[in-house]
Amino acid sequence: MGLGAGRAGKAAGPGWAVRLAMQPWFHRICARIPGLGAVVRSEGDALFEVVQGFVRSQALLALVELRVMHRLADGPLGAGALARLTGVPEPRMAVLLQAGAALRLVRRQGDFWALTTRGAAFLTVPGLEAMVRHHPVLYRDLIDPVAFFRGETVPELAGFWPYVFGAGGAADPDLAGRYSQLMADSQGLVAEDTLRLVSLRGVRHLMDVGGGTGAFLAAVGRAWPKIGLTLFDLPAVVAGARPGPGVRIVPGSFRDDPLPVGADAISLIRVLYDHSDATVTGLLAAVHAALPVGGLLVISEPMSGGTRPDPATDVYFAVYTLAMQTGRTRSAEEIAALVGAAGFGPIRMRRGHRPFITSAVTARRM
């Protein structure tokens, strides 16, 4: 067996920079060299941010659940007043406020505490608070991360979003309402970024498939008032839809029912990452069948960075969709491949300026 054959299928060893970084003596030397010392400290800070990430998230959850930032929105308060309002002992409230200050959500103002601009933004950005309050479900699923990644657990999130398993899962109006509200809370930002990335010029009629209660279509209606609009989603979901005047609402399941025809553009907003490749393939085939030649397909959702992993989408969304047990967070290139296989082209990939909100892939029906 030759040398090449012996190495077949075996990855090369770590590069020289990695080998150096694994040597404690190298870090001691770098710490004493001007310029390099700052780099070493920066890397150390970044590593500790990774280590303490879950504590930051839990401190944020406590601030949200205790409505600390909400209470400060009316003006500064002392730690004692906040302790009494929240039922938290004052020494513990002091620790929480100090943590909130470290996260730059609140700040000390003499003997009082006040809201920062970041804290104010947190209260006003749609969907952020709902997302944080929803996190305990995911935290419980990750309490044993090794078992989770081995696939040995039954994630709670899989039961929280049963609509992704089919129409029957969303038959519970309460469950559908909980899902729809969480999606609607964040859909404003998604719509804003999507419409910044994608032009609907020339579109006569847009159908939003899996469009929830119509938040995206409402934004489209404001930006493009002359475009006809159709909302298609499960019956229990569209029962609470309020997309605005003139929007046609069609209840149905894209798994089981053919899509209505007549639209020359179809949007899939935060839909694909909820579903398996098999379901996505079927959906794209249905979209292809429903569109005329030249019809526009718009896909918008958080996407994996692919060969350049993204710290938001390849950590948060990738793990979240894994816990759902049905979908996965795909890269724009993976989505483009599925879209091309369904008969669409040319395909354009547009990375969002806030990838944790959304990026977009567009294509034309051939």
Residues making up the chain, counted from first to last = 366
Average of pLDDT values for 112-126?
93
Per residue in 260-298, pLDDT tens?
999 999 999 999 999 999 999 999 999 999 999 999 999
d(CA 167, CA 97): 45
Residue 132 has pLDDT above 60, yes or no: yes
Domain 132-365 class, CATH top level: alpha beta
Task: Give the model confidence (pLDDT) of 164-198 as tens digits.
Answer: 555 444 445 555 555 556 666 677 889 999 999 99
Range(s) for CATH 3.40.50.150 in the chain?
Answer: 132-365
The region of weakest confidence among 5-9, 94-98, 109-113 is 5-9
Give the separation between CA 78 and CA 83, rounded to whole angstroms: 9
Q: Is the pLDDT of residue 3 over 50?
A: no
> In the predicted model, is pLDDT for residue 31 greater than 80?
no
Q: How confident is the prediction for the chain on average, in pLDDT?
A: 87
pLDDT of residue 37: 64
Helix (H, G, I), strand (E, B) or coil at 211: coil
Query: Any idea which of 24-28, 80-84, 205-209, 332-336 has the lowest mean pLDDT?
Result: 24-28
- The pLDDT value recorded for residue 84 is 98
Position 12 scores a pLDDT of 63
pLDDT band (50, 70, 90) for residue 15: confident
pTM assigned to the model? 0.82
- pLDDT tens profile 232-261: 999 888 887 777 788 999 999 999 999 999
For residues 333 and 299, the answer to whether their CB atoms sit within 8 Å is: no
Q: Residue 130: pLDDT band by 50, 70, 90 thresholds? A: confident
Domain ranges in the chain with CATH number 1.10.10.10: 53-124
Share of the chain above pLDDT 90, in %: 64
Q: What is the DSSP string of 286-346?
A: HHHHHSPTT-EEEEEE--B-TTS--TTIIIIIHHHHHHHTS----BHHHHHHHHHHTTEEE
Nearest to 299 by CA among 344, 260, 255: 344
In this structure, of 114-123, 131-140, 317-326, the range with the lowest mean pLDDT score is 131-140
Percentage of the chain modeled with pLDDT above 70? 84
Q: How confident is the model at residue 210 (pLDDT cuts 50, 70, 90)?
A: very high
CA 311 to chain CA mean position, Å: 12
Pull the structure tokens for residue 66.
Answer: 């205790």
Tokens 């909302």 label which residue? 231
* 3-state percent helix, strand, coil for the chain, nearest multiple of 5: 50, 15, 35
Give the 3-state DSSP-derived string for 105-140, with helices as H, strands as E and coil as C: CEEEECCEEEECHHHHHHHHCCCHHHHHHHHHHHHH
pLDDT tens column, 38-76: 666 677 777 777 888 899 999 999 999 999 999 999 999
- What's the pLDDT at 212? 85
Q: Which pLDDT band, with edges at 50, 70 and 90, does 27 fall under? A: low
Looking at CATH, the fold of the domain delimited by 53-124 is given as: Arc Repressor Mutant, subunit A (1.10.10)
- The string of pLDDT tens digits covering residues 296-340 is 999 999 999 999 999 889 999 999 999 988 899 999 999 999 999
298 and 207 Cβ atoms separated by less than 8 Å: no
**Contacts for 235 with CB less than 8 Å, ≥ 6 apart:** 167, 251, 252
Buried b / exposed e along 254-281 (16+ C-beta atoms within 10 A): beeeebeeebbbbbbbbbbbbbeeebbe
